[in-house]
Amino acid sequence: MTEAPDATLAVILTVNGERHAIRVEARRTLADALRDNCGLTGTHLGCEHGVCGACTVLMDGEPVRACLLFAVQAQGRAIRTVEGLAEGGELSPLQRAFIDNHALQCGYCTPGFLMLGTAILDRDPDISDEALVDALSSNICRCTGYANIVKAVRAAAAEMREKVPA
Amino acid sequence: MKPPPFHYHAPRTEAEALALLAELAPEEGRILAGGQSLVPAMALRVARPSHLIDINGLPGLDRLEVGDGQLRVGPLVRHAMIRRESVPGPLGALLDKVRGHIAHLPIRTRGTVCGSLANADPASEWCLVAATLGGAMLARSMRGDRMIAAEDFFQGFMTTALEPDELLAGLHLPVLPEGTRWGFHEFSRRAGDYAQAASLAVLEMRAGTIAAARIGIGAVEDRPRRLPEAEALLTNRAPTADLLRQAAAEARATLLPTDDDPTRPALAETVIRRALADAAGIELP
C-alpha cells in the first residue's frame, strides 16, 4: 500500500511451457509483457482495447484478449502464444493450412487468428459453418481475408480428423 | 493506449476483498472481475482507478446454483459459463440465446455476468434480462448483505444503486416454469457489437390467452426497463399478429430515447415486435 503505483512487481509467467521471471508495473498488460519482457513478439497489438483480437492468446486453453489482462493476473496460469504452435520445427496443421489457403496477406492479424482458430478446433473440431463464422468474427482482418481464413480452419479440421483415427 | 498506473491488490478471501474495498473505495478503489469493460475504459483513459482489487483468485465465486425457484449467479461466473445445460427449463434456453449476443468468444471466456450488471451499460443484455425478469442483485459489504431489486438497481446511464464499498456478490433470477414462452431480439450493425435496440418478451400462457406478460427494452433509454403499457395491452388476450403489432407500437410511443438517432424508435418497435412474435410463436416480419 505504501508502494508507489508505478512500482514494479515480480511476476513469473509460464509461456509455452517455459518460465519467465519478469518485473512489471501492475498496469503492464499481458500482451506488452509477452512482447517486451519475454521477447515473444509473435503476439501482436492492434487496438489495445479488446476490439481487434490481434493479441489473442490462450490462457489455460481458453482464448483471451492479452491486452485486457494484466501480466500480474496471468501468474500461475498456462499461457500459449503463436510461438508455441509449431512442434519440433514443424508447423501446426492450422499454420500449414493458413499458408496453403492464402489465409493471410499482410499477416498482422495472423497470430491472433491462429490462436483463436486453435481454440475453436480444440473445443469443437466439428463446428458448424454458421458457428465457425460467428466465432471467427471475434477478430478483425483489415485485408478482409475472412473467406480464406474460414477455409483454412476447415482444412485444418479435416486434416486433424484424418490424423486421429476415430 | 496503455492503462494508467494503479495499485494492484489480490486478496485471498472474500472478507479480505471487502475490507480492502471499504478502505480503498474513497480513494477510487475498484473491483476487478473479468475486466472486459473496465480495462478498455482504462486504456482509453476514461476510467482511472487508483486501486484495483482483483477478485479472480477468490475461491467459490464462480458458482451457478439453482434452488428455491431461483438461479443464483456468482460474481465470477463468466458469460461463457451460462449454457442451456447448466440452467433448467425455459430460463436455460433463454439465457443460452442471450449469451450468444454478448461480444465475442474471447470476451465471453473472461467477462462476467455480475461485472456487466455492475457496469450497467444501457445496451447490456444481462441488464435487460435482470430488468425484464425481475431479477435481484446481492450487494455485499463489511456492513452486511442486502438485496436490490432490478428496478431499483439500475439508476441511469452506467449508474447503479451499489455503494462504493459494495461488491456485487450475485444475481438472482426466477427460474421460469415449464411452458413459459419467450423471445429475444437484438439489432446491432455487426455481430458482437453493442445493441442499438434489444428486447426480451416473456409470456405466461393459459388456455390460449396471455395470462401474464413481461416485455423489456434495452439500449434505447438510459437503462433497461419493462414496458407496462404494452404488457397491460396483452394481458388476458389471445395473441394475434395484430395485437402484437399494436403492443409494439404502443410501447414505442412510451419510449424516451437518450439520443436523437431517428432510427432508434423504429428499431425499438421492431425488436419488441419480433421478441413478442418469437414468444407467441407467430410469424411476423
Give me the domains of chain A, ranges plus CATH numbers.
8-84 (3.10.20.30), 93-161 (1.10.150.120)
Question: Could you say which of A26, A29, A64 has the minimum Cβ distance to residue B106?
Answer: A64
Task: Convert the pLDDT of each residue in A114-154 to its tens digit.
Answer: 999 999 999 999 999 999 999 999 999 999 889 999 999 99
Mean per-residue pLDDT of chain A: 95
Does a structural domain hold residue B2? Answer: no
| DSSP label at residue A119 | H
Strand-pair partners of A18 = A15
Same domain, B134 and B170: yes
Same domain, B191 and B265: yes
If asked whether residues B16 and B103 sit together in one domain, one would say no
Q: Is residue B14 part of a domain?
A: yes
Element at A13 (helix H, strand E): strand A8-15
Are B203 and B248 contained in the same domain?
A: yes
Q: Are A82 and A43 in contact (CB under 8 A)?
A: yes
B1 within some domain: no
CB-based burial, B170-199: b 16+ in 10 Å, e otherwise: bbbbebbeeebbbbbbbbbeeebebbbbbb
Instruction: Specify the number of domains making up chain B.
Output: 3
Supply the pLDDT for residue A109.
98
Q: B17 with B32: CB under 8 angstroms?
A: no
What's the CATH code of the domain at B110? Answer: 3.30.465.10
pLDDT for the residue numbered B181: 98
Residue-number span of the structural domain to which B211 is assigned: 183-280
Q: How far apart are CA B180 and CA B67, in angstroms?
A: 18
Cite the DSSP H helix spans in A12-164. 30-32, 93-100, 110-123, 129-136, 146-163
Q: Is it the case that residue A164 has pLDDT exceeding 70?
A: no
Answer yes or no: are the C-beta atoms of A33 and A22 closer than 8 Å: yes
Contact assessment for residue A105 and residue A111, using Cβ atoms and an 8 Å cutoff = no
Residues 51-70 of A with CB under 8 A from B: 51, 53, 56, 62-65, 67-70
Same-domain status, B20 and B80? no
**A65-105 pLDDT, tens digit each:** 999 999 999 999 999 999 999 999 999 999 999 999 999 99
Same structural domain for residues B167 and B78? yes
Residues B194 and B170 in one domain: no
How far, in Å, are B66, B172, B175, B196 from residue B69 at the CA level?
7, 10, 5, 32
Q: Do B169 and B194 belong together in one domain?
A: no
**A93-100 vs A146-163: helix axis angle to the nearest 10?**
140
How do the pLDDT tens digits run along chain B, 285 residues long? 899 999 999 999 999 999 999 999 999 999 999 999 999 999 999 999 999 999 999 999 999 999 999 999 999 999 999 999 999 999 999 999 999 999 999 999 999 999 999 999 999 999 999 999 999 999 999 999 999 999 999 999 999 999 999 999 999 999 999 999 999 999 998 888 899 999 999 999 999 999 999 999 999 999 999 999 999 999 999 999 999 999 999 999 999 999 999 999 999 999 999 999 999 999 987
Q: Which of B174, B193, B218 is the last residue of a domain?
A: B174
pLDDT at A21 over 70: yes
End position of a domain, from candidates B116, B146, B174: B174
B53 in a structural domain: no
Contact call for B3 and A135, based on CB within 8 A: no
Q: Is residue B134 part of a domain?
A: yes
Q: Are residues B33 and B77 in the same domain?
A: no
Nearest to B56 among A3, A68, A73 (CB): A73
Residue B77 identity: V
Q: How far apart are CA B228 and CA B247, in angstroms?
A: 10
Interface of B with A (CB under 8 A): 1-8, 10, 35-36, 39-40, 42-44, 50, 52, 54, 56, 100, 104-107, 109-110, 190-192
CATH number at residue B219: 3.30.390.50
Yes or no, beta carbons of A64 and B109 under 8 Å apart: yes
Q: Which three cell numbers stand for residue B150?
A: 432490478
In DSSP notation, chain B reads -PPPP-EEE--SSHHHHHHHHHHHGGGTEEEESS-TTHHHHHHTTS---SEEEE-TT-TTTT-EEEETTEEEE-TT-BGGG--GGGS-HHHHHHHHHHHTTSS-HHHHTT-BHHHHHHHT-TT-HHHHHHHHHT-EEEEEETTEEEEEEHHHHEEETTEES--TT-EEEEEEEEPPPTT-EEEEEEE-SSTTSPPSEEEEEEEEEETTEEEEEEEEEESSSSS-EE-HHHHHHHTTS---HHHHHHHHHHHHHH---SS--TTHHHHHHHHHHHHHHHHHT----
A3 contact B CB<8A:
yes
Which of the residues B101, B104, B108, B190 would you substitute to probe the A interface, choosing the one with the greatest number of A C-beta atoms within 10 Å?
B104
Residue B133 resides in a domain: yes
Size of interface A-B (CB pairs under 8 A): 91
Q: Is residue B55 part of a domain?
A: no
Domain check: are B85 and B24 in the same one?
A: no
With b meaning 16 or more CB within 10 Å and e meaning fewer, what string describes A4-28?
eeeeebebebebbeeebebebbbbb
pTM tops 0.90: yes
A87 to chain B, closest Cα gap in Å: 24
Residue in A27, A50, A119 nearest the CB of B5: A27
Q: Is residue B120 part of a domain?
A: yes
Do the chains contact at A69 and B110, CB–CB below 8 Å?
yes
- In our burial notation (b when 16+ CB lie closer than 10 A, e otherwise), range B93-123 reads ebbebbbbbbbbbbbbbbbbbbbbbbbbbbb
Q: Answer yes or no: do B126 and B215 share one domain.
A: no
What nine digits make up the cell of B251?
A: 410501447
Q: Could you tell me whether strands B51-54 and B7-9 are parallel, antiparallel, or unpaired per DSSP bridges?
A: parallel
Domain end marker among B174, B193, B215:
B174
Residues B27 and B75 in one domain: no
